[in-house]
A and B are shown apart, each in its own frame.
Chain A
Amino acid sequence: MPRTIQILPDAVANQIAAGEVVERPAAVVKELVENSLDAGARTILVRIEQGGKRTIRVGDDGSGMGREDALLSLDRHATSKIRSAEDLRGVGTFGFRGEALPSIASVSRLSLDTCARGEVLGTRIQLRGGMIGSVEDVARTPGTTITVETLFFNAPARAKFLSSPTAESRAVSEAIIPLALAHPGVAFALESEGRSLLDLPPAADLVERVLQLWGEETAGKLIPILAQDGEITVRGVIQRPDATRPGFRRAHLFVGGRPFREAALLRAADRGYRTTIPEKNRPWLFLFIESPRGTVDVNVHPTKAEVRFRDRKAIEELVERGVRAALEVPESAATFEARPAPPVLRVAEPPPRRLSPAETTERQMALFLTRYGADAAAEGSGDEVGHQPGEGEEERGAPPRLWQVHHAWIVAEVRDGLLLIDQHAAHERILYERVIGRFEKGGEVSQRLLFPLTLRLTAAECAMVEDLKGLLQRMGFEVEGFGGDTVIVHGVPSPHPYFDSERCFREMIAELTVGSELTRAARNQHERLAKSFACKAAIKAGQALMAPEIQELFDQLFATELPYHDVHGRPTTVRLGLGELERRFGR
């Protein structure tokens, strides 16, 4: 039998590769911009016409290439970025396959102008369908400009699948955004038919880049996150709970500066937000993962959109934990300012882990005050928030002054302004964490009743009580069925002096039986009960509190894990900064 298998000529191989890497103008832009970033560019200008279908031009001020390199760069598997399989394990550049340029060239008319640093004369190479047409000298400043015209001119079937110019332009812009987020210090511009779609001058940090992209309103309501576990670090910014909304969100993940997609990690981050936001809200996330050499494989997807972690679970956990920790600090509280100053990103040291519960009250208070002090000190300097005391050291540990107003709110005077606390929401958070603790670690203390409560309930409610008997007991309700539609409560919890046990019990059982938004948002039975109890048992608005009770509520709130957020996804606390006050009074 004659030989039937043949090695494909390069031109065909490249076209096939192009099928995987280059499916639309946005993919071309992504590859070219990545090359520019790999070449150390500080400024990258992208111009497109017809959404990139007619022309794509990417110019940079990077290292440029000498003539020999320029010619080689168009060959398949020609790369300057790795030399061996070993290099691939720790690859720090976007590129490593050496196939982007030849693939693009094979399906377009491409011209490459480049001039290496230190040289005066550059090279211009022109290709058509991957075949070199001409090589000539050109005068230009150091850097590289690649122009791709009539993409897919020789692959009409592919050309047909392209969308409208508007949709393609949007895709191009979306291809640039993640790279721009990963490199805030690099200037990016995108122009389409002479119109500017993106104009991003060099930014100081990620938050400034977000501000350039989506405005102060978004950037001002981001909070820093930083979590570390051994050699793995997660840092970045996430949306403050009160700023989250349902529907569309921006969620960008990076590993080693490389954008990637991973739904599981976003879900982990969302888990970190649990109870602090309404269930349907989708927080914006910008997370940068650093993980040591060899623990992540970036070569698993044709367009490198996905990566594989050796231990994804560990990273998911770290992300969830990091988000939680970010929501523990005062910066995560709602503020009055519609557009507060964007947070100064100072991420260097992980927030202190919670130690034994015994320490928390004390520690949280101290932390609370230092944070405020340190904040002011760090303002502008961009320094990390350490635990260096702010000025006025002696104030540390001194409890803030507290007032109850309108029998519903507590005003606290803190270092950099005021905290307004919703007494009911705050107490909900306290009781919620307390009940969850009881479920995990053991039962509540139950106050026996002289006159047991004899409650007539609906059949469904009775069944519910029967079902939950064990858990109710752990919450402090000692309940006994009485047959038929009656239950008897012999013992009750006493979460505060104004507690109305009968009312709480009835309302809670009714809510659990009928269901509510609150109970439906719960992940499991424990959460459902704890949320419902917290909501029904917490001190109500309208309840006058005595000074020690106010103090106690405040202390307990700040001993919880997430003091700034209640269990419905609303804030417990709104911050009013001195800066904002001064601004309002025109000082």
Chain B
Amino acid sequence: MRFTITRQNLHQGLNAVSASLPSKTTLPVLSNILLETTADGVRISGTDLDVAVRIRVAVDVVEQGSLTAPGKKLQEITRELPEGPVEVSTRGEQIELRCGRSHFKLNGLPAADFPTLPDIPFDRGWTASGSNLLALIRHTAFAVSTEESRPVLNGVLWELRDREMRMVATNGHRLAKMTIPAGPSQETTTQLIVPPAALQHVQRLFNESDTVQVARGGNHLGFSAGGTEVYTRLIDGTYPNYEQVIPKDNDRFAVVERKGFESAVRRVAAVASEQTHRIRMKFEDGRVEFNVLTPDLGEAHDELEVSYTGEPLVIGFNANYLLEVLRYVGTQEVRLGFKAPERAATLEPVSGDGEAKRDYLCLVMPLRLVD
């Protein structure tokens, strides 16, 4: 293998790919990246077996070939190379870099040792605008579960519906759901459960302005735009029926000014138990009262004016869940809906003037003190 590439392109490619290498691995080849020549350039790939990243760069190939080489080392070297063309070549299982008077040789491993990336038929997939895709991910991925006993909840549910795309994530304590009116017309709904690690790479590697090709190949999903590809295994299983747990009969609503509300929650939560982060709120006509009492620590009382309709209600939450959700709701005003102290609360954006309308809904399950 022999080709010449600009330092800039090589470095960018290596940066993109090395982030997908596992930090600890018992398989030495996984700490390597795969370099391969193609008809019109080279491909650089890296994977931790769950997610893979591949970059294609157009270069003049002098001699076809492929080899794997230590990813982090290559990245460290190219970071400090002077600007200019870099000649990359292989001799046996060694890779050589030449750039001006710099010359490096690194031991690699045969390309055949590298895991084969899945075959994704991008021509038979669909497209999503970078801005839509990133918005969906940003607003939902935070809510995934880390519990091992329910693997489906470890992923983000991506639904392709009729002219809509939706993402949902939950850990069973709180849930985030966002829908964007985009995509092809289709009769059936496709459900994909995507590991959040893959979505992080999507967030890292794609821009708002990209048009991202997405396609499914067997149990894998691929994202592609501008020569950058992200591959991921999909999570097996059936996502729980989230529609069923979204309350339809909430009949007590508060509209709060988000910043002020967040700040009140944050300050009373300072006194909440370190383990449960539990705060209590009492909603009644025109106001909400905050109460925190932590036996070994102290107590907090606070009050805010809010608009509230419905019977008075006392309800407890993990303050962290509330704060997290409030941050993603994002609008100046937020609408909270309740039914009862042991039932799910809803949080939705209230779009004001000049604020984009969003189909976004979060659920937070309350904390209850059981005696």
List chain A positions with a Cβ less than 8 A from chain B.
Answer: 357-358, 360-361, 434, 441-451, 473-474, 476, 478, 490-491, 494-503, 506, 552, 556
13 chain-A/chain-B pairs, Cβ below 8 angstroms = A445-B273, A445-B368, A447-B173, A448-B344, A449-B172, A449-B173, A451-B170, A474-B371, A478-B368, A494-B275, A496-B275, A500-B148, A501-B147
Given contacts A445-B369, A447-B318, A478-B370, contact A494 B296 (CB under 8 A): no
> Which residue of the partner chain, among A450, A498, A552, contacts B365 with CB atoms under 8 Å?
A450
- Taking a contact as CB atoms under 8 Å apart, the answer to whether A503 and B173 are in contact is no
- Taking a contact as CB atoms under 8 Å apart, the answer to whether B370 and A446 are in contact is yes
Across the interface, name the chain A residue whose C-beta is closest to B175: A450
- Taking a contact as CB atoms under 8 Å apart, the answer to whether B370 and A476 are in contact is yes
- Taking a contact as CB atoms under 8 Å apart, the answer to whether B173 and A444 are in contact is no
Q: How far does the alpha carbon of A81 sit from the alpha carbon of B274 in the complex, in Å?
A: 64
Q: Which residues of the other chain, B, contact A495 by a CB distance below 8 angstroms?
A: 275
Q: How far is the CB of B277 from chain A (nearest CB, A)?
A: 9
Q: Which residues of the other chain, B, contact A500 by a CB distance below 8 angstroms?
A: 147-149
Residues of B168-207 at the interface with A, using a CB-CB cut-off of 8 Å, are 170, 172-175
> B112: CB under 8 A from chain A?
no
Q: Which residues of the other chain, A, contact B370 by a CB distance below 8 angstroms?
A: 443-446, 473-474, 476, 478, 491
> B12: CB under 8 A from chain A?
no
> Which residue of the partner chain, among A451, A498, A552, contacts B274 with CB atoms under 8 Å?
A552
Q: How far is the CB of A359 from chain B (nearest CB, A)?
A: 9
Q: Which residues of the other chain, A, contact B318 by a CB distance below 8 angstroms?
A: 447, 494
- Taking a contact as CB atoms under 8 Å apart, the answer to whether B365 and A449 are in contact is yes
Q: Which residues of the other chain, B, contact A473 by a CB distance below 8 angstroms?
A: 370
Q: How far does the alpha carbon of A503 sit from the alpha carbon of B148 in the complex, in Å?
A: 8
Q: Which residues of the other chain, A, contact B166 by a CB distance below 8 angstroms?
A: none
Given contacts A446-B367, A494-B276, contact A451 B295 (CB under 8 A): no
Q: How far does the alpha carbon of A440 sit from the alpha carbon of B268 in the complex, in Å?
A: 27
- Taking a contact as CB atoms under 8 Å apart, the answer to whether B276 and A445 are in contact is yes
Q: How far does the alpha carbon of A496 sit from the alpha carbon of B316 in the complex, in Å?
A: 18
Q: Which residues of the other chain, A, contact B28 by a CB distance below 8 angstroms?
A: none
> Which residue of the partner chain, among A360, A476, A498, A552, contacts B146 with CB atoms under 8 Å?
A498
- Taking a contact as CB atoms under 8 Å apart, the answer to whether B175 and A556 are in contact is no
Across the interface, name the chain B residue whose C-beta is closest to A448: B365
Q: How far does the alpha carbon of A500 sit from the alpha carbon of B153 in the complex, in Å?
A: 12
Given contacts A358-B296, A494-B318, contact A448 B367 (CB under 8 A): yes
Q: Which residues of the other chain, A, contact B245 by a CB distance below 8 angstroms?
A: 450-451
Q: How far is the CB of A429 from chain B (nearest CB, A)?
A: 14
> B258: CB under 8 A from chain A?
no
Across the interface, name the chain A residue whose C-beta is closest to B246: A450
Residues of B314-367 at the interface with A, using a CB-CB cut-off of 8 Å, are 316, 318, 342-344, 363, 365-367
> B139: CB under 8 A from chain A?
no
Q: How far does the alpha carbon of A406 sit from the alpha carbon of B121 in the complex, in Å?
A: 41
> B39: CB under 8 A from chain A?
no
**A357-B295, A450-B170, A491-B370 provided; 17 other pairs, C-beta below 8 A?**
A357-B296, A441-B295, A445-B316, A445-B368, A446-B368, A447-B365, A448-B173, A448-B342, A448-B344, A449-B172, A450-B173, A450-B175, A473-B370, A476-B370, A499-B147, A502-B147, A503-B147
- Taking a contact as CB atoms under 8 Å apart, the answer to whether B367 and A445 are in contact is yes
> Which residue of the partner chain, among B149, B276, B278, contacts A502 with CB atoms under 8 Å?
B149
> B100: CB under 8 A from chain A?
no
- Taking a contact as CB atoms under 8 Å apart, the answer to whether A443 and B371 are in contact is yes
Q: Which residues of the other chain, B, contact A556 by a CB distance below 8 angstroms?
A: 274
Q: How far does the alpha carbon of A327 sit from the alpha carbon of B149 in the complex, in Å?
A: 37
Given contacts A494-B275, A494-B276, contact A451 B172 (CB under 8 A): yes
Q: Which residues of the other chain, A, contact B276 by a CB distance below 8 angstroms?
A: 445, 447, 494
> B150: CB under 8 A from chain A?
yes
Q: How far does the alpha carbon of A443 sit from the alpha carbon of B275 in the complex, in Å?
A: 14
Q: How far does the alpha carbon of A473 sit from the alpha carbon of B363 in the complex, in Å?
A: 24
> Which residue of the partner chain, among A445, A447, A451, A494, contacts B240 with CB atoms under 8 Å?
A451
Q: How far does the alpha carbon of A444 sit from the alpha carbon of B368 in the complex, in Å?
A: 8
Q: How far does the alpha carbon of A490 sit from the alpha carbon of B147 in the complex, in Å?
A: 16
Q: How far does the alpha carbon of A476 sit from the alpha carbon of B318 in the complex, in Å?
A: 14
Q: How far does the alpha carbon of A447 sit from the alpha carbon of B318 in the complex, in Å?
A: 8
Q: How far does the alpha carbon of A125 sit from the alpha carbon of B370 in the complex, in Å?
A: 82
Q: How far does the alpha carbon of A360 sit from the alpha carbon of B295 in the complex, in Å?
A: 12
Q: How far does the alpha carbon of A401 sit from the alpha carbon of B173 in the complex, in Å?
A: 34
Across the interface, name the chain B residue whose C-beta is closest to A556: B274
Q: Which residues of the other chain, B, contact A450 by a CB distance below 8 angstroms?
A: 170, 172-175, 245, 344, 363, 365
Q: Which residues of the other chain, A, contact B298 by a CB distance below 8 angstroms?
A: 358
Q: Which residues of the other chain, A, contact B27 by a CB distance below 8 angstroms?
A: none
Q: How far does the alpha carbon of A478 sit from the alpha carbon of B368 in the complex, in Å?
A: 10
Q: Which residues of the other chain, A, contact B275 by a CB distance below 8 angstroms?
A: 434, 494-496
- Taking a contact as CB atoms under 8 Å apart, the answer to whether B367 and A447 are in contact is yes
Q: Which residues of the other chain, A, contact B366 by a CB distance below 8 angstroms?
A: 448
Q: How far does the alpha carbon of A502 sit from the alpha carbon of B147 in the complex, in Å?
A: 8
Q: How far does the alpha carbon of A352 sit from the alpha carbon of B52 in the complex, in Å?
A: 59
Across the interface, name the chain B residue whose C-beta is closest to A356: B296
Q: How far does the alpha carbon of A451 sit from the alpha carbon of B368 in the complex, in Å?
A: 16
Q: How far is the CB of A225 from chain B (nearest CB, A)?
A: 27
Q: Which residues of the other chain, B, contact A503 by a CB distance below 8 angstroms?
A: 147-149
Q: Which residues of the other chain, A, contact B273 by a CB distance below 8 angstroms?
A: 445
Q: How far does the alpha carbon of A352 sit from the alpha carbon of B172 in the complex, in Å?
A: 45
Q: Which residues of the other chain, B, contact A491 by a CB distance below 8 angstroms?
A: 342, 368, 370
Across the interface, name the chain A residue whose C-beta is closest to B367: A445
Q: Which residues of the other chain, A, contact B240 by a CB distance below 8 angstroms?
A: 451
Across the interface, name the chain A residue whose C-beta is closest to B145: A500
Q: How far does the alpha carbon of A478 sit from the alpha carbon of B274 in the complex, in Å?
A: 21
Q: How far does the alpha carbon of A476 sit from the alpha carbon of B273 in the complex, in Å?
A: 15
Q: How far does the alpha carbon of A501 sit from the alpha carbon of B147 in the complex, in Å?
A: 8
Q: Which residues of the other chain, B, contact A499 by a CB distance below 8 angstroms?
A: 147
Q: How far is the CB of B279 from chain A (nearest CB, A)?
A: 11
Q: How far does the alpha carbon of A491 sit from the alpha carbon of B316 in the complex, in Å?
A: 13
Q: How far is the CB of B246 from chain A (nearest CB, A)?
A: 9
Q: How far does the alpha carbon of A357 sit from the alpha carbon of B369 in the complex, in Å?
A: 20
Q: Which residues of the other chain, B, contact A443 by a CB distance below 8 angstroms?
A: 369-371
Q: Which residues of the other chain, B, contact A476 by a CB distance below 8 angstroms?
A: 370
Q: Which residues of the other chain, B, contact A448 by a CB distance below 8 angstroms?
A: 173, 342-344, 365-368
Q: How far does the alpha carbon of A495 sit from the alpha carbon of B149 in the complex, in Å?
A: 17
Q: How far does the alpha carbon of A500 sit from the alpha carbon of B318 in the complex, in Å?
A: 17
Most buried by B among A434, A446, A448, A499: A448
Residues of B87-142 at the interface with A, using a CB-CB cut-off of 8 Å, are none
Q: How far does the alpha carbon of A393 sit from the alpha carbon of B359 in the complex, in Å?
A: 58
Q: How far is the CB of A362 from chain B (nearest CB, A)?
A: 10
Q: How far does the alpha carbon of A255 sit from the alpha carbon of B251 in the complex, in Å?
A: 73
Given contacts A444-B370, A446-B367, A446-B368, contact A502 B316 (CB under 8 A): no
Q: 4 tightest A-B contacts by CB?
A: A502-B149, A443-B371, A448-B365, A500-B147
Q: Which residues of the other chain, B, contact A434 by a CB distance below 8 angstroms?
A: 275
Q: Which residues of the other chain, A, contact B368 by a CB distance below 8 angstroms?
A: 445-446, 448, 478, 491
Q: How far is the CB of B54 from chain A (nearest CB, A)?
A: 28
Q: How far does the alpha carbon of A495 sit from the alpha carbon of B275 in the complex, in Å?
A: 6
> Which residue of the partner chain, among A442, A449, A496, A497, contacts B371 with CB atoms under 8 Å?
A442
Across the interface, name the chain B residue whose C-beta is closest to A504: B149
Q: How far does the alpha carbon of A473 sit from the alpha carbon of B370 in the complex, in Å?
A: 6
Q: How far is the CB of A111 from chain B (nearest CB, A)?
A: 71
Q: Which residues of the other chain, B, contact A552 by a CB distance below 8 angstroms?
A: 274
Q: How far is the CB of A189 from chain B (nearest CB, A)?
A: 57
Q: How far does the alpha carbon of A357 sit from the alpha carbon of B365 in the complex, in Å?
A: 30
Q: Which residues of the other chain, B, contact A502 by a CB distance below 8 angstroms?
A: 147, 149-150
Q: Which residues of the other chain, B, contact A478 by a CB distance below 8 angstroms?
A: 368, 370
Q: Which residues of the other chain, B, contact A506 by a CB distance below 8 angstroms?
A: 149
Q: How far is the CB of A118 from chain B (nearest CB, A)?
A: 67
Q: How far does the alpha carbon of A498 sit from the alpha carbon of B363 in the complex, in Å?
A: 20
Q: Which residues of the other chain, A, contact B172 by a CB distance below 8 angstroms?
A: 449-451
Q: How far does the alpha carbon of A491 sit from the alpha carbon of B367 in the complex, in Å?
A: 8
Q: Which residues of the other chain, B, contact A497 by a CB distance below 8 angstroms?
A: 146
Q: Which residues of the other chain, A, contact B296 by a CB distance below 8 angstroms?
A: 357-358, 360-361
